[in-house]
Chains A and B, each alone.
Chain A
């Protein structure tokens, strides 16, 4: 049974650094084809992909946020950590982590998000 759960502060001040942790179970990030992405959703707005880390260590970032982001994995803890620096009120959103499963042996390096965490709400305010 695959599960993911996000954790982190509910409130951060502008200019601070946000650290979010995705703790997952039911799969390993050492298995070929397993990836985890972060996706966020501002209140009342659309989904926005933030970052992805793959089983082989490859990392991808939203180009508009890349300078502020770091994604990392701790395979022994079954965790993926996202840090975002210089937080702004426009970063207020629900942050989701999701498993992104791909099939590199079939030439599929994109895949799809099959399992999502419930999300964690982050408010940026002084």
Chain B
């Protein structure tokens, strides 16, 4: 069982906006920044959002992140078929002295 809680699945049609939530604790998301990763089938995870809401170079501005208290969210607007993937949140946990990940959310583009 993952330390951070994500919905196992999400779906939307092309062009729509979808949000994925990530719930943590006071020692993880409550104290540290959140990162989001996209994992396409059979490939390594790719950094999508770092430090709650920063996008690495090359990541479209359709992807955005936010954090409030012990929860964070990833939003994808203008959904495209190539966005179909697994999405993971991650944060450092001060109590565990290590990184914790969410269980992942499988996004389906209908």
A interface list, Cβ under 8 A from B: 37, 39, 46-49, 52, 60-63, 96, 110, 112-119
Whether B98 pairs with A62 at a CB distance below 8 angstroms is yes
Whether B104 pairs with A47 at a CB distance below 8 angstroms is yes
Closest-CB distance, A89 to chain B (whole angstroms): 19
- Contact count A vs B, C-beta below 8 Å: 57
> Besides the contacts A47-B101, A110-B91, what 20 more A-B pairs have beta carbons closer than 8 Å?
A37-B99, A46-B104, A47-B45, A47-B88, A47-B90, A47-B104, A49-B98, A49-B99, A49-B100, A49-B101, A62-B98, A96-B45, A110-B32, A112-B47, A112-B51, A114-B47, A114-B50, A114-B56, A115-B47, A118-B43
In chain B, positions 37-71 with a C-beta closer than 8 Å to chain A are: 37, 43-47, 50-51, 56
Closest-CB distance, A99 to chain B (whole angstroms): 10
A63 and B3 alpha carbons, distance in the complex (Å): 13
Q: Is the interface of A mostly helix, strand, loop or mixed?
A: strand
Query: B92: which A residues are within 8 A, CB to CB?
Result: 110
Contacts A/B (CB < 8 Å), 11 sampled: A47-B88, A49-B90, A49-B98, A49-B100, A52-B98, A60-B97, A110-B33, A112-B50, A113-B47, A116-B45, A118-B43
Query: A118: which B residues are within 8 A, CB to CB?
Result: 43-44
Closest-CB distance, A64 to chain B (whole angstroms): 9
Query: A112: which B residues are within 8 A, CB to CB?
Result: 33, 35, 47, 50-51
Query: B96: which A residues are within 8 A, CB to CB?
Result: 63
Closest-CB distance, B36 to chain A (whole angstroms): 10
Closest-CB distance, A83 to chain B (whole angstroms): 18
CB of B24 within 8 A of chain A? no
A119 and B46 alpha carbons, distance in the complex (Å): 12
